[in-house]
Amino acid sequence: MPWAIANASYKKQERNEHAVTEIHEMPGRGHALTIDNGRREVAGTALAFVARFTR
């Protein structure tokens, strides 16, 4: 997703007092997580985020 769109969504969600919001820029990544190059890095970043809040 283009950074401008992702960042705009992040800024809107960031105002939600009841949720944790983070954004990570991962250049060269596409939408097809299961077949794109770097999918393990993307998945690892997402899983690390979830793990921090589910322990």
Q: Model confidence over 1-53: pLDDT tens digits?
A: 788 998 999 999 999 988 889 999 988 887 776 778 888 888 899 999 999 98
At residue 35, the pLDDT reads 79
Helix (H/G/I), strand (E/B), else coil: 25: coil
Residue among 22, 45, 23 at smallest CA distance from 33: 45
- pLDDT in the model for residue 51: 95
Q: Which domain does 45 fall in, by range?
A: 3-52
Distance CA 20, CA 38 (A): 25
CA 36, CA 26: separation in Å to the nearest integer? 12
| Residue 53, pLDDT score | 87
Structure-block tokens of residue 4: 């401008």
Number of domains in the chain: 1
